[in-house]
Amino acid sequence: MNAVEVSKLRKVYSTIVAVDDIDFVVREGEVFGLIGPNGSGKTTTLRILATLIRPTSGSAKVFGHDVVSEAEEVKAIISYLPEEAGAYKNLTGEEYLRFMGALYARDRQDLERMVDDAEEISGLGERLKDKTGTYSQGMKRRLMISRALMLRPKLAILDEPTSGLDVVHATHVRRLIHKYVRDFGVTVLLSSHNMLEVDYLCDTIALINRGRILAFGTPAEVKRSVGATNLEDAFMKVMQVG
């Protein structure tokens, strides 16, 4: 079964076409990158798949469940990390993780496993005992990533997962994403402006601009199709073509 199936998906805001009849498939167990400039339609697409907004037309399914008519079933098997995510500033990092984990954990043992996972993913150590209101933007981002991955969802939807992180912590997060895909069968759908990150993480990518997909394939295939030596150059060439 495919993890995600998108067919003729369209989203219109008044007179603005944010997503324009796009089609793509995400295979189970892969890391799929939806790549494009600001305003390209990628975040709108991710929000539709996360059941936060409804498409104007077309369809989208997550592990066979329609995101509109079976939204509750979809919500039960995904985690979603928006680009601008925040935590409750009066809770400590650990309290926040326990609160979020308790919404999903099957029992006490499962909750403790989630918190242990989150501590490893975040790398925040003793700072988890501090209130999140004292965290830097990068620390908050690491907390949010740990919340998304500790659930071990069937599909993790990550919008700019390493935004605001320094090189060391961004590298740490990328390695953990690979670990969760490899060890726990998590499928990942992400967006990113970092082409090095995309090339390292993604099995398949779709380049989107003005609501339309302009290129699709492995990073190597996309580079080869436009005669580029790196993904950044390929991205620029495809965007110009579009």
Per residue in 147-187, pLDDT (tens digit) is 999 999 999 999 999 888 888 888 888 888 888 899 999 99
CB 26 within 8 A of CB 2: yes
Q: How many domains does the chain have?
A: 1
In a domain, 96, yes or no: no
The structure's pTM equals: 0.92
Give the domain range for residue 12: 2-86+152-241
pLDDT at residue 83 in the model: 80
pLDDT at residue 213 in the model: 95
pLDDT at residue 87 in the model: 75
Confidence of residue 95 (pLDDT cuts 50, 70, 90): very high
In a domain, 36, yes or no: yes
Percent of the chain with pLDDT over 70: 99
CB 209 within 8 A of CB 216: no
Which of the two residues, 240 and 171, has the higher pLDDT score?
A: 171
CB 40 within 8 A of CB 62: no
The encoded tokens of residue 80 equal: 């979603």
pLDDT at residue 158 in the model: 95
Sequence-ordered strand ranges (E) for 63-211: 65-66, 78-81, 155-159, 187-191, 204-209
- Taking CA 193 as the corner, what is the angle to CA 37 and CA 215, rounded to the nearest 5 degrees? 60
CB atoms within 10 A of CB 216: 16
Per residue in 209-218, pLDDT (tens digit) is 999 999 999 9
Burial 59-73 (b: 16+ CB within 10 A, else e): ebbbbebebeebbeb
pLDDT at residue 241 in the model: 52
Sheet containing strand 2-13, edge to edge, reads 16-27, 2-13, 57-62, 65-66
In a domain, 178, yes or no: yes
CATH code: domain of residue 15:
3.40.50.300
In a domain, 15, yes or no: yes
In a domain, 133, yes or no: no
Looking at the predicted structure, is the pLDDT value of residue 16 above 90? yes
Per residue in 184-231, pLDDT (tens digit) is 999 999 998 888 889 989 999 999 999 999 999 999 999 999 999 999
* Burial class of residue 85 (count of CB atoms within 10 Å of its CB; 0-12, 13-18, 19+): middle
In a domain, 97, yes or no: no
In a domain, 50, yes or no: yes
Rg (CA), the chain: 18
In a domain, 145, yes or no: no
pLDDT at residue 242 in the model: 46
Cα four-point dihedral sign 84, 55, 80, 238: negative
When the pLDDT of each residue in the chain is averaged and rounded to a whole number, the result is 92
